[in-house]
Amino acid sequence: MKQHRLLRALRREPVDATPIWIMRQAGRYLPEYRATRERAGSFLALCKTPELACEVALQPLRRFDLDAAILFSDILTIPDAMGMGLTIIENEGPRLERSVRSIADLNRLGDPDPEMELRYVMDAMRLIRRELHDRLPLIGFAGSPWTLATYMIEGAPGREFVHARGMLYGDPGLLHALLRKLARCIARYLQAQASAGADVLMLFDTWGGVLTPAGYREFSLHYMKEIIAGLRQARVEAPVIVFSKGASACLEDIAACGCDAVGVDWTADLGAARARIGQRVALQGNLDPCVLTAAPEVVRREAAAVLARYGAGPGHVFNLGHGIQPQADPDNVFALVEAVHDLSRAHHGCADPRASG
């Protein structure tokens, strides 16, 4: 397994072709996913039924030659397991029954045991691991402390995160206490995922980019750094990918946080990102997800452009710059995976793909 293309790329070792997986590759753009979700009754029921979660995690692997599987779950399993009461409203997003706006709210939060309250996640991980055998690496993940905190402070989805960003200035002590609690909980959760079979761990910091650079370093990155240090101390060896959407202003700081790879969103230039931090970490990204709604030849052209921007040599994990959209055409995903494997061989010293395949 350690010699798999994805794991080699994450260690910045030479590969035959650039590995590719897709954020939310098990998702609504696939008719078979929609059917399984229908059967489950709701998105949350799907997450909480290990057999169905395993089934949808495997679905994209049957269609596409992807280089990794990823646990099917949601970043809000943790606030849910802490007792906040999660529901996901169709076409609207997640809603928590309670919100955290005071020390009393904070003290009411539970301290979930990954093998108890979050057992369904670990069971899904073990099932996927078993079904995959050692054919493909399996990615586990969690939301970052800051990103989970935004949902927990806001309660309902809000575009501007007024309460969370306001707490940063109005009651930074309370925010730090919440983030500390989350960081400990997330570290334990990821450690348990590694024990249950994850080969790679990823931190999704979806809302890191709504902070100022100083705020990002203090309230988001700092706690991701603590989580990674905690994992290393617990002798978890799985490489860690950090993805802070919209935070490219802080790329150098992210690359120094102890992670093995940095996710780059589609609004950044991958070549510029590599020039800034590609000597220290691998990079993951960063095709605009909207490309997958266009024609296959556009997909191929844009995939080639991303590969060219990264340039020759190892250290690139191809992905979209954000999760795949429900509007994406599955045929385009097929074309994308093929294009990345095919076109990237030239960047790895195999000019003729037929000869080297």
Contacting its own copies (CB under 8 A), which of 99, 256, 325, 334?
A: 325
Residue 134 appears among annotated catalytic residues: no
Q: List all residues 6 or more positions away from 297 whose beta carbon is below 8 Å from its beta carbon.
A: none
As given in the structure block, the two tokens for residue 316 are: 């690139």
Residue 300 appears among annotated catalytic residues: no
107 versus 267: smaller Cβ distance to its own copies: 267
Q: b vs e for 130-162, b when ≥16 Cβ sit within 10 Å of the residue's Cβ?
A: eebeeebbbbbbbbbbbbbbbbbbbbeeeeebe
Cα-Cα-Cα-Cα dihedral of 314, 315, 318, 322, to 10°? -160
Contacting its own copies (CB under 8 A), which of 295, 331, 351, 357?
A: 295
Contact between 234 and its own copies by CB under 8 A: the answer reads: no
Contacting its own copies (CB under 8 A), which of 268, 320, 333, 339?
A: 268
d(CA 151, CA 162): 11
Q: How many residues bind its own copies (CB under 8 A)?
A: 36
Q: Binding string, 337-356, against its own copies, x = CB under 8 A?
A: --------------------
Residue closest to 141 by CA, chosen among 216, 67, 69? 69
Contact between 253 and its own copies by CB under 8 A: the answer reads: no
Query: Taking the complex as a whole, how short is the minimal distance between the CB of residue 87 and its own copies, in angstroms?
Result: 19
Site for its own copies in 187-216 (CB under 8 A): 209-215
Contacting its own copies (CB under 8 A), which of 98, 99, 229, 266?
A: 266
Query: Taking the complex as a whole, how short is the minimal distance between the CB of residue 335 and its own copies, in angstroms?
Result: 13
Report residue 324 CA to chain centroid gap. Answer: 12
CB atoms within 10 A of CB 39: 12
**What residues act catalytically?**
24, 28, 37, 74, 151
